[in-house]
Amino acid sequence: MAGTAIAPSTSGYKEFAFENDERIILQPGEGVAFYQEAAGDADFRVKVLFEWEEVASGSTPSSQGEYLISTGPINGDLNANYVYSSLFNPSGSNKNYVVKRIEIRTNRIGAATAPSYIPTTIRKTTVSSGGTSVIQADVPKKHAGTATTTAQINHTGPAVTFAGVADSRLLGVTVPGLVNQYGDYENVIVYQDELILKQGEGLALYQEAASGDANLRFRMSVEWSESNAGVSNQNPNDPSSLTQKTSPGGTSITESAWTTDNTPDLGFTISDPDAGDTVKHQVQVDGTSSSFTNLVLDYTHSTLSANPTTFAYTIGQAGGTYAVGSQGMTLSDSATGYWWRVKAIDNGGLSSSYVEFGVAGTMDLKVDATAPTGGSVTNDANTGSLTQLSATWNSFDATVSGLLKYQYAVGTTTGGSDIKTWTDNGTSTSATASSLNLKTSVDYYFSVKAFDNAGNTGSAVSASAQQVLPTISYTIGSNSINFNNLNAGNSWTDTKTNSLNVQTNANNGYVVRSYITQVLTSLDYPSKTINNYAGTWASPTTWSGYGFGYTSSDTDVQGSNRFGSGTKYCAFLLVPSGDIVADHTAAINGSTGAANDDWTITYKVATSPSQEASTYRTTGYFIVVPNY
């Protein structure tokens, strides 16, 4: 209401009387207030009167189903044909609006400008958009339990299309010309005389004058109810956007493709042309053909959802009833495949047509949730290679979707791949793993696993443990060494050489030991001998004096260049297993390759001129000891 500006003792007055079926329901924790929207005046006196009835909470209706709203105050606009407020019943609301009260109120706050008396009217509309929208959830209800309105309410310049000709007015009021006076027209509509707004119809407060006045303020108040009465229910739309994915919400399953998921997600969007309707769905799955006469699943969702809703039904899920199948079920492995379809059902019980996934009549998916089983792997003969192992296999079972490929690996544990990572081998049942880094005395396992066409992977099957076959090869250049005759011409001394070759795959290398059974002894006079050289293996020396000794070309014997690169000599040991004359202590494996070493042993003898003339002999041994 608006108060009068004329003093003294003149009042503004507004009474709001309710019919029996138009009550405002105040539940516990709710109330109403008389509110001053603009700056006040100390000379005002305000009084408000409420009349109400209190009833037991059990007698309170669950929903009144009615709405009240007052838009404004909206500033006057200078443009002709300006729309201040509109209420519109949108197409698809699935409601009829029963309008019970309409009020126009205008107020002047400043001196009038021509034209001073401006007519404003209420007219019916067929389109409304733009302006400032009122949030539907904010529209006041007569009862808090009433559903949110479906009305589209706009103010401050919405664009509308009027119904009928220009003089098809419902209500009208002329704006006052005096400051602080107001014009008001209220139409209270009695029972069975209501104004009906069908879907696609509305009301608008419209300024008809050729130009407006900025010193005016406008309000439009409406009371209405929303009802399904007289609104026909339409069948739901056919389901759209059908998808099939691994669950939950995983990767898409191409039409007619294999999947390892026996509880896939079937997705679809359900909608209804009646905006107020709620919807649910029915899903059928056939395991024979698209005739859907051999169903393995027939599920109807129990709960109605908002319109529209995108669903993801998971095979065997709870939340509905199964005419065929059951909660917790899975799809059996099948190369024949499955066909599925879905239909929409609304809250009125009407249904859409069934819609099949993909191309109608085409099988939708095949299920193989069983990984390949069985299998036996056999090692091929081991040759002592440090870089490759071979194996053959058989008896893997992938009969549902069929074998796609094998992979093989080599590791130091069953199923391991630390030596050779898993490698595709197609459908061949034998393989040689190459470029490996192997070493002796380590257990290796050749493993195989099978993959089927659905994407299942079988467990790894391993051959028995195998080790690299130890190898050793040793050759000596000559089995006998003959010195020249010792005489003054050669200064009673001579040297001879012999070659050694050692080949082995022993991981920790090898040592070559040597000893002689006796000092050089005369064949004619067994008591006559040539003594061993004075140098020892622990301390070889540059040759000096008489005797029989040797040196080695190995520059690193047990971590030391004890033979001075073949320039220092020592005596042969006279007992087994002798001294180390050459060795290989670095690791040997697939990266280094097997050892293939050549060594030279140089023998030397020197005597005094008084040594008895004779032939002297001894027997020497070279022993190679690998360390695997």
How would CATH label the architecture of 64-227?
Sandwich (2.60)
Report pLDDT digits (tens) over 433-468.
999 999 999 999 999 999 999 999 999 999 999 999
pLDDT(27) > 70: yes
Q: Which of 236, 254, 237 is nearest to 245 (CA)?
A: 254
SS3 137: helix
Averaged pLDDT for residues 611-623: 97
* CA 120 to chain CA centroid, nearest Å: 61
Give the model's pLDDT for residue 9. Answer: 43
Q: If 0-12 CB within 10 Å is exposed, 13-18 middle and 19+ buried, where does residue 464 land?
A: exposed
Residue with tokens 């060494």: 481
Max intra-chain CA distance, the chain = 166
CATH number for the region 373-462 comes to 2.60.40.10
Contact 553, 566 (CB under 8 A): yes
Report pLDDT digits (tens) over 348-361.
899 999 999 999 99
SS3 488: helix
Pairwise pLDDT comparison (46 vs 492), residue with the higher score: 492
Report pLDDT digits (tens) over 62-75.
566 789 899 988 98
Report pLDDT digits (tens) over 224-271.
888 876 667 889 999 999 999 999 989 999 999 999 999 999 999 999
Alpha carbon distance 40, 140 (integer Å): 25
Give the model's pLDDT for residue 7. Answer: 47
Contact 134, 222 (CB under 8 A): no
From residue 617, how far is each of 266, 408, 482, 570 by CA, in Å?
Answer: 96, 61, 9, 18
Alpha carbon distance 244, 373 (integer Å): 28
From residue 257, how far is each of 245, 413, 582, 589 by CA, in Å?
Answer: 11, 36, 67, 47
**In the chain, where does the domain assigned CATH 2.60.120 lie?**
64-227
Contact 274, 94 (CB under 8 A): yes
pLDDT(143) > 80: yes
Residue with tokens 């059908």: 242
Give the model's pLDDT for residue 112. Answer: 73
What band does 278 get if pLDDT is binned at 50, 70 and 90?
very high
In angstroms, how far is the first alpha carbon of the chain from the final one? 108
Partner residues linked to 192 by β-bridges: none
Report pLDDT digits (tens) over 76-116.
888 878 899 999 999 878 788 888 888 888 877 877 766 66
SS3 456: coil
Q: Which of 171, 186, 179 is nearest to 119 (CA)?
A: 171
How would CATH label the architecture of 472-626?
Sandwich (2.60)
CATH number for the region 240-367 comes to 2.60.40
Q: Enter the tokens of residue 492.
A: 């009673």
Contact 510, 625 (CB under 8 A): yes
pTM of the model: 0.62
**In the chain, where does the domain assigned CATH 2.60.40.10 lie?**
373-462
Averaged pLDDT for residues 576-581: 97
Report pLDDT digits (tens) over 284-302.
999 999 999 999 999 999 9
What band does 22 get if pLDDT is binned at 50, 70 and 90?
low
Contact 465, 445 (CB under 8 A): yes
Q: Which of 217, 197, 38, 37 is nearest to 120 (CA)?
A: 217
Report pLDDT digits (tens) over 182-222.
566 566 665 566 788 988 899 998 887 666 777 888 888 99
SS3 421: strand
